[in-house]
Structure 1
């Protein structure tokens, strides 16, 4: 059996607008499904923020099915980092005979990936040519895919996210 692998990384703005979404094989063509999954996690962020003193690391947000689980991290600026993990990895045949326990993947296994993702985002913010205001919807406007706010198109950030998604594995301490 292949180990757990990252299926999707999402960076969601403080106004719940998608800033960046990366999909990893075999899910590269599942944009609509993962957009829905990422959006469904936003309610969980909001509930936890209202009812608890939220730490940056929110851990498991939801088990989507026996294969996929969503984990979350909130930056101090309100930007939400989401990682959806394929618990079977790329072993397509494992779903019929094996059933991984979500508890087999500890929340701490994803901390290095979240820290690396947050570092990549901080480096993006330090870029003098990047303007976070270009990626925030105007007040009073609803967030829709066709809205005026832009997604992050910085090539270095995209490469960093891809590296994180492709190199993460449970037990890696530093990325």
Structure 2
């Protein structure tokens, strides 16, 4: 279903990036990096009430020839970026929202680990298994 899943810290550095196996994984890193400007623009356009929201689904950030990039921001300003293959026209907005909810729940579960220091790279196997399942279409 997804081609790339990324978790970006509040300060815009990557905490976790996982892609489908491909020869050009750098393309996904570039796509995620360029999407951060669109995420910041969408967050700032919401206005002052954005701090009151518990979560913020940003929807489609931008399409490319091959992929569509979707965004989601938590109340702590951690950003989730999911890159989906454009040829998969059967994906609906509700399915993308469900994917982000699943990712957010996995992130919260990972944060509950007392040995994880917020802001460090995500090395949780349970979190990675959830992401791999998203990449494989589970």
Return the alpha-carbon distance in structure 2 between the equivalents of residues 165 and 56 of structure 1: 22
> 2:83 corresponds to which residue?
84
For the residue of structure 2 that corresponds to 1:113, the secondary structure is helix
* Large movers: runs of 4+ above 6 Å: none
Q: What runs of 5+ residues in structure 1 fail to find an aligned partner?
A: 90-99, 136-150, 169-175
Quote the residue 2:45 is aligned against.
Answer: 51
2:105 alignment counterpart: 119
Question: 1:6-25 alignment to 2 at 5 Å?
Answer: 6-25=2-21
> What TM-score do you get using the length of structure 2 for normalisation?
0.86
- For the pair 1:132 / 2:118, whether they are aligned, the reply is yes
Residue equivalent to 1:42: 36
User: Could you say which structure has the higher strand fraction?
Assistant: 2
Q: Alpha-carbon deviation of 1:164?
A: 2.3
Higher helix share: 2
Q: CA RMSD in A?
A: 1.8
Paired with 1:37 and 1:82, the residues of 2 have a C-alpha distance of: 10
> Considering only CA atoms, is the larger Rg found in Structure 1 or Structure 2?
1
Contact 1:116 1:164 (C-alpha < 8 Å) held by counterparts: no
Shift in Å at residue 108 of structure 1? 2.2
Between the aligned partners of 2:106 and 2:25, the Cα distance in structure 1 is 22
Please give the alpha-carbon distance, in whole angstroms, between the structure 2 residues aligned to 1:167 and 1:69. Answer: 16
Cα drift, residue 152 of structure 1: 1.3
SS at match of 1:132: coil
CA distance in 2, matches of 1:161, 1:81: 12
> What is the rounded CA distance, in whole Å, between the counterparts of 1:167 and 1:32 in structure 2?
22
